[in-house]
């Protein structure tokens, strides 16, 4: 008789329904790989009634009691798929206390309470897996934790928020305004009713904090990661980007400066012939540069019901193998050496920059801009003044676009502060990044 593996699902939304469906669809193969049959024993939901759900489940499995669901004697693994921070934190800690292994897709939870959760899991000798928390179905957590276990990650770029990537892709392809694309994305279900976490960079910062933990062995205060949203981008910036051979992508960056850790979240201009520029629509990718391997890239679906469920169930399978091999708790060791490394201050970031100044079209203006930049050690690579502001008359303000060589952000900001007196609208600053 095949052994059974008891699973409790917390949440039966998009991802929870995907887990139920995938366990059914690939049941034979998964059972063969596990050496045990995975059985969903309980599903915690917000309302247990006869609600219309994405998959059909036995109503007897449903419960609104999180605490008793995670502690059931017939459950080996708890999959936390409710999202949010507080309720999920309590449920996960209760599951760990009850000796259950945990799989979670919750980046906000791990970015904010990861230390507490991993410490509790280590103390209790259980596993916490979270492949679905970053880049959805792309197995980047396994790649970094095991595939590159012998290597040292020097830096990485990622496109980790599919909603932002979708919006910027649409803005670039059709010259549309941010608000217009966002509205459509909400109607299509690609963006949340409250899109703040996606478009402000908050969701990306959570994922970046988790990646930094894995790559650099540091804990991170996700709220303190410098971030720019994508909502300030204007169609004119996409036109300039195309003119310079760039595309604008929502980027997270992590870099280890030998102790000080540089982390940032913002839209960036990257070369249009670079592989990361080809990541379309709502897809995600992680481009990693490590000491021994050099550059490598991992691409795929960063969200969606089945891709995310795939990562959750692959985590379940790995935990089940650990259980079968009596190796529970082994994985937790990888976080043992976490420490809080100092962050590189934004002022010390070095980057190339796209600066778009809105100025009156008067003699001497260009000279004044370039002089101020030079006085602040910001060296100019290219200046363009040939695309008039949309709707501006002949005597109205014009855009002056400057591409800089690599400069220190503190110097760039200081120069822009001085220039502020000479411009008619706030200066647009977009970082320019690319393969070295």
Active-site annotation, residues = 207
Closest to 349 (Cα-Cα) out of 295, 300, 408, 394: 408
Neighbour count for residue 326 (Cβ, 10 Å): 8
CB of 36 to a copy of itself, least distance (A): 12
> Is residue 324 part of the contact set for a copy of itself (CB under 8 A)?
yes
Q: Which residues contact 318 (CB under 8 A, 6 or more apart)?
A: 129
Chosen residue from 32, 39, 177, 224 binding a copy of itself by CB under 8 A = 32
> Is residue 327 part of the contact set for a copy of itself (CB under 8 A)?
yes
> Is residue 150 part of the contact set for a copy of itself (CB under 8 A)?
yes
Chosen residue from 72, 321, 341, 368 binding a copy of itself by CB under 8 A = 321
Neighbour count for residue 64 (Cβ, 10 Å): 12
CB of 129 to a copy of itself, least distance (A): 11
CB of 79 to a copy of itself, least distance (A): 12
Chosen residue from 165, 314, 351, 399 binding a copy of itself by CB under 8 A = 314
Chosen residue from 24, 330, 360, 375 binding a copy of itself by CB under 8 A = 330
Number of residues that bind a copy of itself (CB under 8 A): 59
CB of 178 to a copy of itself, least distance (A): 26
* Three-state DSSP string of 222-250: HHHCCECCCCCCCHHHHHHHHHCCEEEEE
Closest to 89 (Cα-Cα) out of 10, 150, 13: 10
CB of 56 to a copy of itself, least distance (A): 19
Nearer to a copy of itself, 152 or 174 (CB): 152
Furthest C-alpha separation in the chain = 87
Chosen residue from 57, 98, 242, 306 binding a copy of itself by CB under 8 A = 306
Nearer to a copy of itself, 222 or 251 (CB): 251
Q: Let me know how many helices (H) and strands (E) the chain has, helices first.
A: 14, 16
To the nearest 10 degrees (0 to 180), the angle between helices 202-216 and 107-124 is 40
CB of 71 to a copy of itself, least distance (A): 26
Selected range binding a copy of itself among 66-74, 185-193, 294-302, 417-425, rule: CB under 8 A? 294-302
Closest to 139 (Cα-Cα) out of 286, 279, 304, 330: 286
User: DSSP character for 343?
Assistant: B
Kindly compute the dihedral angle of the four CA atoms of residues 238, 242, 244, 247, in this order, to the nearest 10 degrees: 70
> Is residue 307 part of the contact set for a copy of itself (CB under 8 A)?
yes
> Is residue 137 part of the contact set for a copy of itself (CB under 8 A)?
yes
Nearer to a copy of itself, 227 or 331 (CB): 331
CB of 240 to a copy of itself, least distance (A): 22
Is residue 35 within 8 A of residue 68, CB to CB? The reply is: no
Q: Tokens for 133?
A: 């928390």
The DSSP H or E segment spanning 32 is helix 27-34
Q: Are strands 128-129 and 380-384 parallel, antiparallel or unpaired?
A: unpaired
Chosen residue from 91, 92, 105, 143 binding a copy of itself by CB under 8 A = 143
Return the residues of window 228-287 that contact a copy of itself according to CB under 8 A: 273, 275, 278
Nearer to a copy of itself, 221 or 330 (CB): 330
Any idea how long the chain is? Answer: 436
Q: Are strands 3-10 and 153-159 parallel, antiparallel or unpaired?
A: unpaired
Q: Could you give the CA distance from residue 184 to residue 298 in angstroms, rounded to a whole number? A: 29
Q: Which residues bind a copy of itself (CB under 8 A)?
A: 18, 22, 25-26, 29-30, 32-33, 35, 131, 137-139, 142-143, 146-152, 273, 275, 278, 290-301, 306-307, 309-311, 313-314, 316-318, 321-322, 324-327, 329-330, 333-334, 336-337
């Amino acid at each position: 008789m095949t052994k059974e593996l008891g699973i409790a699902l917390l949440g039966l939304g998009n991802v929870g329904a995907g887990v139920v469906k995938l366990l059914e669809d690939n049941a034979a193969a998964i059972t063969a790989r596990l050496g045990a049959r995975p059985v969903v024993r309980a599903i915690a939901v917000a309302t247990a009634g006869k609600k219309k759900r994405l998959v059909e489940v036995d109503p007897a499995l449903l419960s609104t009691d999180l605490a008793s669901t995670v502690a059931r004697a017939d459950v080996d693994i708890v999959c936390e798929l409710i999202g949010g921070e507080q309720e999920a934190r309590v449920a996960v800690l209760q599951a760990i206390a009850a000796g259950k292994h945990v799989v979670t897709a919750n980046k906000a939870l791990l970015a904010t309470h990861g230390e507490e959760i991993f410490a509790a899991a280590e103390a209790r000798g259980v596993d916490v897996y979270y492949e679905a928390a970053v880049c959805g179905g792309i197995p980047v957590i396994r790649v970094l934790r095991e595939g590159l276990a012998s290597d040292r990650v020097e830096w990485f770029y990622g496109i980790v928020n599919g909603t932002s990537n979708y919006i910027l892709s649409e803005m670039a392809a059709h010259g549309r305004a941010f608000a217009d694309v966002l509205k459509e994305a909400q109607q299509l279900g690609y963006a949340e009713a409250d899109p703040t976490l996606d478009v402000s960079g908050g969701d990306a910062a959570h994922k970046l904090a988790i990646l930094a933990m894995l790559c650099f062995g540091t804990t991170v205060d996700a709220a303190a990661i410098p971030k720019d949203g994508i909502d300030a981008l204007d169609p004119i910036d996409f036109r300039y980007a195309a003119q310079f051979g760039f595309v604008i992508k929502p980027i997270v960056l992590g870099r280890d400066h030998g102790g000080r850790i540089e982390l940032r979240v913002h839209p960036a201009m990257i070369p249009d012939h670079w592989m990361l520029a080809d990541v379309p629509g709502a897809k995600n990718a992680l481009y990693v540069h490590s000491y021994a391997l050099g550059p490598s890239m991992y691409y795929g679906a960063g969200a969606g019901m089945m891709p995310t469920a795939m990562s959750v169930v692959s985590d379940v399978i790995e935990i089940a193998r650990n259980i079968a091999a009596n190796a529970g708790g082994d994985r937790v060791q990888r976080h043992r050496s976490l420490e809080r490394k100092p962050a590189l201050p934004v002022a010390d970031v070095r980057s190339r920059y796209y600066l778009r100044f809105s100025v009156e079209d008067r003699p001497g203006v260009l000279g004044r801009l370039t002089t101020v930049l030079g006085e602040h050690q910001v060296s100019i690579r290219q200046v363009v003044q040939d695309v008039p502001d949309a709707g501006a008359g002949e005597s109205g303000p014009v855009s002056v676009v400057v591409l800089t060589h690599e400069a220190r952000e503190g110097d760039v900001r200081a120069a822009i502060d001085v220039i502020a007196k000479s411009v008619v609208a706030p200066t647009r600053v977009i970082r320019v990044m690319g393969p070295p």
